[in-house]
Amino acid sequence: MAEAQLRGLLDEFTCSVCLDTLTDPVTIPCGHSFCLKCLMDCWDQSQVCSCPQCRENFTTRPALQRNSLLNDVIMKFKRPRISPPPPQNYASFGEVECDFCTGKKFRAVKSCLTCLASYCQTHLQPHYEGDALKHHKLVDPDSNLKEKLCEIHQKSLEMFCKTDDSCICMMCVVTGHDGHKMVKLETEREEKQKQLGATLSDIKRGLEEREKIMKETRKAMEEMKMSVVREVEENEKSFTDLIQCIEKAHKKLTERIREQEKREMEKAEGVMEQLEKEVMSPTDI
């Protein structure tokens, strides 16, 4: 309700030329206020010096001075107001609970490796405001904070020993890793993340290459199948044509043999008839 009322008041301080909130407001003799630049542009582009809102004419151009009081009021309205903190949620199953809430616990927003405790938004505030707690190491909510501590010294793991390939605390640096190659844990984490990213990129490229090969192989198989189908169809057609050609040649050969047989039989019958005639009517020798 109050926000709406303030917004309505801010709308009252609007320049009728640019229709935006007044900037460097100036008030002219007729009582109307405008942005200094808007009013100057209007008067520079017109031969008549008049109020852009009520059209009152002025014999001479009025001297323009910024209305400091009006400007201060506008700036106060435009100053951003601090919004209330976001509402907190109770911790559900599997979420990290605040160690300092009593009764039903709120969900933790941070865990402190120095205090070995987890905090909701309300109980975390001293870590941001108190000088003694500002240097504590805060991490995302973690229910296994002890795993983030050195098993020997119960200090937070801040260094990585490349020689032993292990996470260590600052006490370990002094007591057991003299002369070893060490880097900050964050540095090693970033390096590992880069290596992991490079490995994932290689795997991705390898998968993409294999997928490409699979697509090409699948395409080659489809083309080979189509080629086999075409070749089978062509062979079937060739064999069909060959069979038809053989059958046609066989038919012609059979007809030729039959005709030859018919001629030979006719010829033989003629000889037989001639012989029979000679037998039936023998001539004298």
Residues 191-212: tens digit of each pLDDT? 889 999 999 999 999 999 999 9
- pLDDT higher than 50, residue 3: no
Q: Does an H or E element contain 50, and which?
A: none
Q: Which of 225-229, 259-263, 275-279 has the lowest mean pLDDT?
A: 275-279
Using alpha carbons, list the distances in angstroms from residue 24 to 6, 16, 76, 218: 20, 14, 14, 72
CATH number at residue 122: 4.10.640
pLDDT at 157 (0 to 100): 79
Whether residue 119 lies inside any domain: the answer is yes
How many structural domains is the chain composed of?
A: 2
Q: What is the model's pLDDT at position 142?
A: 84
State residue 8's pLDDT score: 53
Average pLDDT, the chain: 83
Query: What average pLDDT does this structure show over 126-142?
Result: 83
Q: Looking at the domain assignment, is residue 182 inside a domain? A: no
User: How much is the average pLDDT of 141-165?
Assistant: 82
Per-residue confidence band for 98, with pLDDT thresholds at 50, 70 and 90: very high
Residues 73 and 97 in one domain: no
Residue 98 lies inside a defined structural domain of this protein: yes
Domain of 109 in residue numbering reads as 93-148
* pLDDT at site 133: 84
Q: What is the Cα–Cα distance from 277 to 271, expressed in whole angstroms?
A: 10
Q: Helix H segments across the chain?
A: 2-12, 36-44, 68-78, 121-129, 170-175, 185-280
Both 99 and 41 in one domain: the answer is no
The predicted pLDDT at position 9 comes to 57
83 pLDDT band (50/70/90 cuts)? Answer: very low
In the listed set 44, 78, 112, which residue is the last one of a domain according to the structure? 78
Can you tell me the distance from the alpha carbon of 175 to that of 217, in angstroms, rounded to the nearest whole number? Answer: 60
Is residue 55 domain-shared with residue 102, that is, in the same domain? no
Copy the structure tokens of residue 151.
Answer: 């098993």
Indicate if 14 and 67 belong to the same structural domain: yes
Over residues 53-76, the pLDDT tens digits come to 888 888 888 888 888 887 887 777
Q: At what angle do helices 68-78 and 2-12 cross, to 10 degrees?
A: 150
Q: Are residues 45 and 100 in the same domain?
A: no
Residue 245: is its pLDDT beyond 80?
yes
Q: What is the arithmetic mean of pLDDT over 167-182?
A: 85
Please indicate, yes or no, whether residues 18 and 69 belong to a single structural domain of this protein. Answer: yes
Is the pLDDT at 94 greater than 80? The verdict is yes
Could you tell me if 160 and 188 are in contact, meaning their C-beta atoms sit under 8 angstroms apart? yes
Cβ-Cβ contacts under 8 Å for 33 (sequence gap 6 or more): 13, 15, 22, 25, 26, 27, 67, 70
Q: Are residues 113 and 144 in the same domain?
A: yes
Kindly report which listed range (8-17, 28-37, 252-261) carries the lowest average pLDDT score.
Answer: 8-17
Query: Which of 13-22, 30-39, 203-212, 247-256 has the least mean pLDDT?
Result: 13-22
Residue 255 within a domain: no
Query: How far apart (Å, rounded) are the C-alpha atoms in residues 167 and 182?
Result: 10
Q: Is the pLDDT of residue 84 over 60?
A: no
pTM score: 0.37
User: Averaged over 226-253, what is the pLDDT?
Assistant: 91
pLDDT of residue 78: 64
Query: For the residues of 161-180, what is the DSSP string, one character each?
Result: ETTTTEEE-HHHHHHT-TT-
For residue 246, what pLDDT band results from cuts at 50, 70 and 90?
Answer: very high
20 inside domain:
yes
Residue finishing a domain among 78, 109, 124: 78
pLDDT for 57 equals: 86
Does residue 9 form part of some domain? yes
Residue 132: predicted pLDDT: 79
What is the rounded distance in angstroms from the CA atom of residue 71 to the CA atom of residue 163? 66
Confidence of residue 189 (pLDDT cuts 50, 70, 90): confident
User: CATH number, domain at 55?
Assistant: 3.30.40.10
- Please indicate, yes or no, whether residues 48 and 7 belong to a single structural domain of this protein: yes
Residues 6+ apart with CB under 8 A from 150: 156, 157, 168, 169, 171, 172
Q: Classify residue 73 as exposed, middle or buried by CB count within 10 Å of its CB (0-12, 13-18, 19+).
A: middle
Angular region, 179: left φ>0, alpha ψ -120 to 50, beta rest = left
- Residues 71, 107: one domain? no
Residues 105 and 43 in one domain: no
Query: Is 189 domain-assigned?
Result: no
Q: Are residues 70 and 111 in the same domain?
A: no
State whether 27 and 70 are in the same domain.
yes
